[in-house]
Structure 1
Amino acid sequence: MAEENRRIAEELIEAVGGEDNILSAAHCATRLRLMVRDKEKIDQERVEEIDKVKGAFYNSGQFQVILGTGTVNKIHHEIVELGVSESSKSEQKEETSKQGNAIQRLLRTFGDIFVPIIPVLVATGLFMGLRGLITNVYPDALPDNFLLYTQVLTDTAFAFLPALIAWSAFRVFGGSPVIGIVLGLMLVNPALPNAYDVGSGDVDPLLFFGFIPVIGYQGSVLPAFIAGFVGAKLEKWLRARIPEALDLILTPFLTLLIMITAALFVLGPIFSAVEAAIMAGATVVLELPFGISGLIIGGLHQVIVITGVHHIFNLFEIQLLADNGLNPFNALITAGIAAQGGAALAVGLKTKAKKLKAIALPSSLSAFLGITEPAIFGVNLRYGKPFVMGLIGGAAGGFFAALFNLQATGMAITVIPGFLLYLDTVTGALLYALTNVIAAGTAFLLTWMFGYNDEMQK
């Protein structure tokens, strides 16, 4: 096995243009990430023919080779042993962040900030689903204060969401994360009128100078993001100018004083209005009647995944959950993901080529677990038609989910693991199952009949 991995590593290096063309190598859970000097020297077709390679593509300075969980660690180790310089993902991310146009860099930044906080929001969604399941199955046998206990589990992350976002923004933009946490906590201090209570009309905002409304920012995303960005830049500016002997005292003091004043009186009101406008526009698409929203989102989401900027939707989903605890977007993108898995499964079962079968079947399983890159880049996009059939299947499943207004209790997990976000009602779990079956089944049948035959390999 070790000899085989060494051979694969040698073939990869040669196909990418040789050791001199590779600046550094890193890896994530499924992909080998190579920073290259000249992408024109890459023989992508040759790379994709190498054993264990499930797909490859070039994006913003990185040549990414999809190898799968476990395998990628071993191949990366062999490549480093052969003399290629090793770099961390953060080092490659810093280099990659300099590449691409302004919009691409902005969207990558959104991903860098929101991806680290998603795990706690996933846990919150699972807690919500489990609470719904337990209260439906055992409505009369729950202990005293059970709901109060579950509220601690389900409400905490969103009650302090600005603190999580400000922490992550300070981390990404080069500030001190602990200052970001405190700034975010200031935005939801209990001394301020609660944003939810103000929104319901139960509480009035505080008025400063007779005309500036001041409230807490519970559940807000954009104001905390902007405060974190400006605060990190301000902290770095202050540290460069304050004498070292006074830095420990003055820098945090001035950063927090200036930023909470700016956040409450200027940034908060302005960007709350911007956030509301963005949400209103996105909600218009999400609420299109007769299942149209599902056709659009379910059918096109995986096209956006190809570009690598789909993390921008994290902001939208977080805001949906913060507003009402439910996320209809999850079911629509689940349909798109399941459909790509169904298309890859059809290719894997229909082909007689052993290598393609060995790529397609595991890739379809990966998609059914919520990760579509192996199926998309390793199988469906390579032959074109299966990807299109997957888009049609995603539109069909999304249409069904939208017709029944299917909503998740969380985010970031889809297809099979996503069932945990629909356990609050039996009907919701059944509709979710049907959404996946319709999406994957439609894509499978279309791919089987019209989307693939072994002649395409020529």
Structure 2
Amino acid sequence: MSENKKIAQEIINAVGGQDNIDSVAHCATRLRIMVNDNEQIDQEKVESIDKVKGAFFNSGQYQVILGTGTVNRIYEEVDKIGVNSVTKADRKEEASKKGNVIQRSVRTLGDVFVPIIPVLVATGLFMGLRGLIMQEQILALFGLTTDSVSDNFILFTQVLTDTAFVFLPALVAWSTFKAFGGTPIIGLVLGLMLVSPSLPNAWGVAGGADPLYFMGFIPVVGYQGSVLPAFIAGIFGAKLERVIRKRVPESLDLIVTPFLTLLVMIVAALFVIGPIFHTVEEYILSGTLAALGLPFGIAGLLIGFLHQIIVITGVHHIFNLLEIQLLEKFGNNPFNAIITASIAAQVGAALAVGLKTKSKKLKALALPSSFSAFLGITEPAIFGVNLRYGNGQILQYILVNIIAIGAAFALTWLFGFSDKQLESKKIAE
């Protein structure tokens, strides 16, 4: 028996056996188990299993923290054992009934936006790489200037950095249809319709171009880069498709269901859903920018303090929508810069435990957890190390934060900023 298969079987046994498991799913780091009887779970036994970094109940699920990569392999073994005897749609429908309204809503947001994250991360890396390469100092190393870089090379980099955001509504609609039990390819086509080149480009209209007007007063534009219109259209579209499918004869289903779904939803999306929720999206973005613009570093203090607490609850995926909006609108994400500092704190704490402890088991847990946190996935460090061993150290925790604030202040005061930099920046601009 392979190690991962052994771990999968041990987890199943520790949560009460296959008879106590209703269904199993997973996200980037967690095995999410829907159980029939919570009392049958042996919490201590679960946490003692190799590769398990913690376990807890959240959003109506028993969530076992395994970490990136590992969770996929353990899930495959659980699936092979035969625990998941229901379909994916049935599992989603059953899961949607558990937990309160907020828990169900946040879980749904996670189901929609988590699958999109890898391509957005890749796109962000491409943006960073292009920004690095196009620096004058870097180009000078190869005897080049910004004016001498080939237009074809610029075009190639634009394909890498712009595609995901140009077709973002298609990605969102595809993922939303999938999460709500619709046919993903129909969602993909609906999303592509929202950014059809036949419509006035959203960025062009923002720059002064004219939208199309239907009935003389309804403005219609493409929704390049928008998230909410595609998300809401995806929800209604998936539900509409299921309603139509139940009422259409099987012999006509292949033709009639996608035809009616796309026809009804593109009309609703362009004339009703799009205009309303694009406006809502703008208000959310404006509110976020106002919060980020608070003086005296208040935004950093609040966001940095609250973010990792919110990660503990598992509802942090709600921020994905916000971060996507910031990237699409401005090409940068100041929110991420703030939460990166709180993530780095988790890295340092878990790394210190891993290097200091003489326990081989704890070392094997803490060091990989700190590396995972370094890549942005902090749950293993939080649940496996920092929460488990840090609860009795509140005074030290406060002291560490005071020292961090003081060190950053002192270094910035001494070396990080001067009015000369301000003057030189004004001259450069």
TM-score normalised according to structure 2 size: 0.80
- 1:231 alignment partner AA: G
Q: Secondary structure at the match of 2:64?
A: strand
Indicate conservation of the 8 Å contact 1:299/1:391, yes or no: no
Q: Greater shift after overlay, 263-272 or 36-45? A: 36-45
Which residue does the alignment assign to 1:143?
150
Which residue type is aligned with residue 40 of structure 2? K
Percent identical residues: 69
- Which residue matches 1:126? 125
What's the CA shift string for 1:357-387, capped at 9, x where partnerless? 3322332222122221111111111232569
Query: Do structure 1's residue 85 and structure 2's residue 83 form an aligned pair?
Result: yes
Q: In structure 1, list runs of 5 or more residues that go unmatched.
A: 405-458
Q: Which residue of 2 aligns with 1:432?
A: none
Q: Which moves more between the two structures, 303-312 or 257-266?
A: 257-266
- For each residue in 1:220-279, what CA deviation from the matched residue of structure 2 results, as whole angstroms up to 9, or x when unmatched? 111111111112222222222233343333333322222222212111111111111122
Give me the whole-angstrom Cα distance separating, in 1, the residues matched to 2:185 and 2:51: 43
Q: Structure 2: any 5+ residue segments left out of the alignment?
A: 413-429
CA distance in 1, matches of 2:40, 2:60: 13
Alignment of 1:270 with 2:276, yes or no, is yes
Is 2:387 aligned against 1:389?
Answer: no
Corresponding residue for residue 193 of structure 1: 200
How far the C-alpha of 1:36 sits from its partner, in A, is: 2.8
2:29/2:379 contact within 8 Å kept: no
Cα displacement (A) at 1:92: 5.1
- Alpha-carbon contact 1:176-1:232 (below 8 Å) kept: yes
Quote the Cα distance in structure 2 between the aligned partners of 1:395 and 1:296. Answer: 18
1:180 to 159, 178, 187: 187
1:93-136 deviations in Å (ceiling 9; x for gaps): 55433211111111111111112222222222122111111111
What is the CA–CA distance in structure 2 between the aligned matches of 1:169 and 1:75, rounded to whole Å?
A: 26
Alpha-carbon offset, residue 89 of structure 1: 9.9
- Quick one: distance in 2 between partners of 1:57 and 1:247? 43
CA drift of 1:305 comes to: 0.7
1:107-122 equivalence runs, <5 A: 107-122=106-121
Offset at residue 355 of structure 1 (A): 3.4
User: Structure 2 matches for 1:202-213, cutoff 5 A?
Assistant: 202-213=208-219
Q: Which has the higher contact order (CA 8 A, sep 6+)?
A: 1
Q: Deviations over 1:310-349 (max 9, x none)?
A: 1111111111111121111221121111111211222333
Deviation at 1:203, TM superposition (A): 0.7
Would you say 1:171 and 2:178 are equivalent positions? yes
The structure-2 alpha-carbon separation of the partners of 1:208 and 1:308, relative to structure 1 and needing over 3 Å to count, comes to: same
The alignment status of 1:364 with 2:370, answered yes or no, reads: yes
How far apart are the structure 2 equivalents of 1:4 and 1:332? Answer: 36
Aligned partners of 1:337 and 1:370 also within 8 Å: yes
AA aligned to 1:242 is V
* SS of aligned partner of 1:310: coil
Cα distance, 1:25–1:170 mapped onto 2, change above 3 Å? closer
Change (3 A) 1:234 1:63: closer
Q: How many residues align?
A: 399
Compute the displacement of 1:41 (Å). Answer: 3.1
CA contact (8 A) 2:4 2:77 kept: no
Q: 1:248 to 1:235 in 2, by over 3 A?
A: same
Contact kept? 1:124, 1:153, Cα under 8 Å: yes
What is the alpha-carbon distance in structure 1 between the residues aligned to residue 254 and residue 4 of structure 2?
Answer: 54
Q: CA RMSD in A?
A: 3.5
Match of 1:291, SS state, is helix
The yes-or-no answer on 1:336 pairing with 2:337 is: no
2:248 to 238, 242, 252: 242
Q: 1:20-59, CA deviations, whole angstroms, 9 ceiling, x for partnerless residues?
A: 5445666666545444332223332343344544322223
